[in-house]
Each structure stands twice: as C-alpha cells, then as structure tokens.
Amino acid sequence: MNTIKEQTSFVAHHVRDMPRSGIREFFELVQGADDVISLGIGEPDFVTPWHIREAAIYALEKGKTGYTSNLGLLKLRKSVSKYMRKEFEVEYDPTKEILIAVGVSEALDIALRATINPGDKVMYHEPCYVSYHPTILMTHGVGVKVPTSEEDKFALNPKRLWEYWEPGVKVLVLNFPTNPTGGTMTREQLLEIARFAQEKDVLVLSDEIYAELTFEGKHTSIASLPGMRDRTILLHGCSKAFAMTGFRIGFACANPELTEAMMKVHQYSMLCAPILSQEAAFEALENGADSVARMKEQYQRRRDLIVRKLNASGLACHLSNGTFYAFPSIKSTGLDSKSFSLRLFEEQRVAAVPGTAFGESGEGFIRCSYSTSYENLLQATDLIDKFVQSL
Amino acid sequence: MEKVLQLLVEGESLTTRQMAEVLNYSEEEVESQLQELKKENILLGWRPVLNPSAEVDAVVRAVIEVKIKPEREGGFDKLAERISRFDEVESCYLMSGGYDLLVVVKGRQLHAVAGFISERLATIEGVLSTATHFLLRAYKEQGYLLPGVVDDSDKPKVSP
C-alpha cells in the first residue's frame, strides 16, 4: 500500500512572499537580444585596471589559495583604515573595527542580521538599490520606506524622516550617492539626519559604495560627523570606483561591539572573503587613485552629455552629482515606467531599467546608466528622442 | 587641458560632430579648437591605428639603434632631422644610453627595409653604426590591445 503524501512546498513563507526583483524580469527580456544598446548596466564598463588584476595573478602564483582571518587580511584592513581616514575622514582600528566582506551586499546582510530582532523596524529611502528591502525581510525585520523626490534632487529630505518615523525603528539605511537616482547629500543635510538619528536613538547603516564617484565637492560620510561614528556602520568596497564588481570585496566599519557581532554572522556563513580578491583590493587601495581619477573624469563628461540630451528630449532629468546613473522623469510622456522601458526596448532597441524596479517611488522614472561609450550614449539618446517624439 | 584635447586623449574615436555633441559645443567651435591645436603644434595630425598584423599598410617594421656623430653646429638635430625626412621612417627619437637615435622604419617587404637601412641610412655621413631589430608580433599598438587580449562577453546587459 502506497502511503506517500502529496508533497507540500518546502519554501519558507517569507521567501515565498518576497517579490522577484523587477530588474530580473527586464534582464531576461534584454539578455537574449544582441542588437540592443544598453543603458541598463549597473557596473563600470571599464575593465579592472591591469595593475590590480596583475596583483591577483601574482597572489595566485605565490600559492595564496587558502582562508584568511575571518575579518580579512590584516594588511588589507590596515590599508582600509588608512583609506577611510584619508577619503572619509573617519578613524577605524584595523584590528577590531573593520571587516572584509564579500561585496557590500554581504556587508549589508551581516550588518542587518547582526542588529535586527524579529519585528524591528528599518527605515530606508526609496527609490533604492534592489536588495535593501528583501534583505530586511530576510532578517525578519519590518521595512519603513521614506520616499525621496525629484524636487530634492533625490536627497533624503530630513523632514520626511521625522514624518515617516514610527515607534520601533532601530536602523536607518542610507545610500548616498544613490543607485538608481544619483542623489547625493550635502554636509548640512547629513547633519540634520545625524540629529534625527541621535534624538531617536537609531543606528545608521550607510552604504557609501559610490563615494569616490561624487562629481562636485567632496563626499561627506555621515560617520565622520560629531557623535555619529559609534552609531554608524559604514559600508564601502572596491566594486564601483575601482571597477572591481566581480572581485566581490566590501568593507564593514563599525565600533568593536558591532564589528564583533557582524564577524560572528560572517564567520559562520561566509568564513572569509576570497583571498585573491583581498590581495587585489589591497593593490587597489594602495595604488589605484590615478585609475579612479581617470574613470571619474570620463563619467562626469558622460553625465553632462546624457543629462543634457535627456532634458532636450523633454525628459526632465536632474544633474546627478554622483554614481553613473541618470534618473529622468518620463511623466511627460503619459506612460508608466514599465511600459516606457518595454516599448523603448521593443521599438528602438534601447534598454533602460524602469524606475519601479527600485521600488514604487520610482514610478514615473527610468534609470539610464551612463557606464558606456560616448558613441553608445549619443546613439541611445538619439533613439530615446525619436521614441519620445513618436508618442 | 582644452576639453577637445582631453576627449582626443581619452581615445574613443569620435567625429567632430560627435565631439561637439559630447561637449555641448558647436561643430565650428570644435573645428576651431582643433585648428588651434594644430597651429600650436600640439596636434600633429590624424592617423588610424592599424593592427600591425593586418597586411594592409606596412608588412615589415624594424627598430634601429643608430649611433651618430654630433656636428659642431646643430648637435644631433641636423642629422636626426635629415634621417626623419625619409618616408620609410615612421618615428625617430633621440635617446639616452648606449646609442643616439631610435629609428622606426617600415616597408612592404623585408628586402625593401633592409635595402633602405644598408643603402640609405647607414651610408649617411655622420652615421657611425646601426643595429637593426625586426618586429615579430604586436600585443599592444599605441594604447590599443590587440583583439583577444580582453574578453568581457560574459557581462550581463542589465544589472542592478
């Protein structure tokens, strides 16, 4: 007699209920097409500078193929400490306040897992990077989103923080410069955010991966503001400025108690970041400044070009002060983000990600990455213009 | 640095119209900046960067170390300029170290290049000696890596 029961789904409820990333949907559509000009790329179009790649090869030749300390190679942590002091104006002790993670994605995950009890609330601004809300859900936290908007050039308006705050908020996630909007914060605006964090006793989790790609003025880290260092987990890494996305290197910097907590999660899940990538990251931080400056100059010229062209086509677009994304409004066309992106792809073979892939607040916008050649940008903006005029 | 010049140095080959669009200049403005750069002898001219392995232009290239006798008036310059005037000479540099001039010579056939060196270059008065090295293969030409050295075909077309 057969007693096998019908198989139930083994998928956990919170994973089952998590929406698929909006960008995946679009990815699947575009990936197969080979005649498309893509403004959909969320990573540098530059190849990692050779001196950095060469450092990884050298490490491999030397037989560096093992684990490292859970926190990461000490020489890399020392280098991160020096870099953070110079570029972010914050001091971190390399022996107990810096952890090398597998990209900022892992750093964000362990930071939240180390701090969130089930039901704790996490504020984040939206439109935002695709993984923030799902990562909060995976820690069984509750997301509280705060919209940023066009009239603030997608900076986080401090007034909104007070307005959207609710009891039970433990963490505030910041990401400036912002993927996808290119929004940045002035020091004055950050001071107000800092005051909010201190008054409401909130921990700030600040993802500053695009810091070096700030065009006008120098990037300010919230961790460098008075009283903020010890209530901030500062996340950074090599992916964007050094064009090292595939190396997967991120840093989490925080006070010893928080670092120790993140280290516990990291050691049991990841053990350590890959040693070859750590060696490459060391080379990048020690000797990569010239490469970063050269790439940044090009991004800035591309930004000026694409923003001007989009505005000329009637798609209002603020001059983003950081990242390599333009975030134009498509409201004047009467289309919603998804149909705009879909039709633009189908009719003109240009791929730009719908703003809604980055949350509901992205409705009415598309993300155009200018991490591509001038020629592609000129062609793509001409085609966008053609498309908009045809509507 | 002039913006037009910056763009040229960056290396993406753009028409003057494209340059004008990138920089938000009129085409005339770009043209006049280019003329200015030429007038100031900063921009010497335009040449395509050809793959040396493609047999279209020169098939044979040689790098020649030349020792010369400096003249009382004019030092190395007069002789170096004289050597540079030959069409076969692609580049000519005054060097520090064991020899004086580094001369890059190109030609359609091996014997043509060899003939130029032995009959023309080596016989010029003041040329003391030559040491010729033939180029076998190029891996990078004027900043361009040869195809096959970089492969980023796995990169996704859309990413977060």
- Here the tokens at position B63 are 């790098």
- What is residue B151's predicted lDDT score, i.e. its pLDDT? 73
Between strands A232-237 and A142-147, the pairing is unpaired
**Could you tell me the pTM of the whole model?**
0.85
Cα dihedral A216, A217, A222, A224, rounded to 10, equals: 150
Percent of chain B with pLDDT strictly greater than 90: 61
C-alpha B145 chain-centroid distance:
15
CA angle B112, B118, B121 (to 5 degrees): 95
Residue A40 has pLDDT above 60, yes or no: yes
Contact status of B150 with chain A (Cβ, < 8 Å):
yes
Per-residue confidence at A1, pLDDT binned at 50, 70, 90?
Answer: low
Residue A391 has pLDDT above 80, yes or no: yes
- Per residue in A251-294, pLDDT (tens digit) is 999 999 999 999 999 999 999 999 999 999 999 999 999 999 99
Cβ contact A374–B12 (<8 Å): yes
A180 in Cβ contact with A127 (< 8 Å): yes
Burial class (CB within 10 angstroms; exposed 0-12, middle 13-18, buried 19+) of A67: exposed
Query: Is the pLDDT higher at A168 or at A25?
Result: A168
B94 in Cβ contact with B82 (< 8 Å): no
CB pairs under 8 A between A and B: 64
Cα–Cα dist A364/A181, whole Å: 12
ipTM value for the complex: 0.72
Cβ contact B160–A301 (<8 Å): no
Q: Chain A: give the shortest CA distance to residue B136, in Å.
A: 24
- What is residue A24's predicted lDDT score, i.e. its pLDDT? 85
What are all long-range contacts of A130-135, with beta carbons under 8 Å and residues at least 24 apart?
A130/A21, A130/A22, A130/A23, A130/A357, A130/A358, A130/B160, A131/A105, A131/B160, A132/A108, A132/A173, A132/A175, A133/A359, A134/A18, A134/A21, A135/A108, A135/A109
B47 in Cβ contact with B36 (< 8 Å): no
Residue A167 has pLDDT above 60, yes or no: yes
Contact status of B10 with chain A (Cβ, < 8 Å):
yes
- Per residue in A123-152, pLDDT (tens digit) is 999 999 999 999 999 999 999 999 999 999
Residue A354 has pLDDT above 70, yes or no: yes
User: CB count, 10 Å around CB of A32?
Assistant: 8
B52 in Cβ contact with B61 (< 8 Å): yes
Residue B34 has pLDDT above 80, yes or no: yes
Chain A interface mutation, best of B2, B21, B158, B159, highest count of A Cβ atoms under 10 Å: B158
Cβ contact B22–A47 (<8 Å): no
Task: Compute CA distances B115 → B2, B37, B66, B82, B93, whole Å.
Answer: 44, 37, 16, 18, 21
Structural domains in chain A plus CATH codes: 19-48+290-390 (3.90.1150.10), 50-287 (3.40.640.10)
What is chain B's percent helix, strand, coil content, to nearest 5? 30, 20, 45
Contact status of A44 with chain B (Cβ, < 8 Å):
no
Contact status of A375 with chain B (Cβ, < 8 Å):
yes
Contact status of A374 with chain B (Cβ, < 8 Å):
yes
Tell me the torsion sign for CA atoms A82, A86, A92, A98.
Answer: negative
Instruction: Summarize the confidence of residues A24-45 as an average pLDDT.
Output: 89
- What is residue B92's predicted lDDT score, i.e. its pLDDT? 97
Between strands A203-207 and A250-253, the pairing is unpaired
Per-residue confidence at A2, pLDDT binned at 50, 70, 90?
Answer: low
- What is residue A256's predicted lDDT score, i.e. its pLDDT? 98
- Per residue in A180-210, pLDDT (tens digit) is 999 999 999 999 999 999 999 999 999 999 9
C-alpha B139 chain-centroid distance:
15
- Here the tokens at position A209 are 């991966």
- What is residue B147's predicted lDDT score, i.e. its pLDDT? 78
Contacts of A297 in chain B (CB under 8 A): 6
- What is residue A22's predicted lDDT score, i.e. its pLDDT? 81
- Per residue in A42-90, pLDDT (tens digit) is 999 999 999 999 999 999 999 999 999 999 999 999 999 999 999 999 9
Q: Chain A: give the shortest CA distance to residue B96, in Å.
A: 28
Residue A27 has pLDDT above 90, yes or no: no
| Nearest residue to A351 (alpha-carbon basis) of B43, B48, B156, B7 | B156
- Per residue in B89-130, pLDDT (tens digit) is 999 999 999 999 999 999 988 999 999 999 999 999 999 999
Residue B54 has pLDDT above 90, yes or no: no
State the average pLDDT for chain B.
89
Burial class (CB within 10 angstroms; exposed 0-12, middle 13-18, buried 19+) of B136: exposed
| Range in A22-26, A54-58, A301-305, B111-115 with the lowest mean pLDDT | A22-26
Contacts of B150 in chain A (CB under 8 A): 47
- What is residue B58's predicted lDDT score, i.e. its pLDDT? 66
- What is residue A182's predicted lDDT score, i.e. its pLDDT? 97
- Here the tokens at position B139 are 């891996």
CATH architecture for residues B60-136? 2-Layer Sandwich (3.30)
- What is residue B134's predicted lDDT score, i.e. its pLDDT? 94
**Sheet harboring B101-107: ordered strands across?**
B89-94, B101-107, B60-68, B127-134
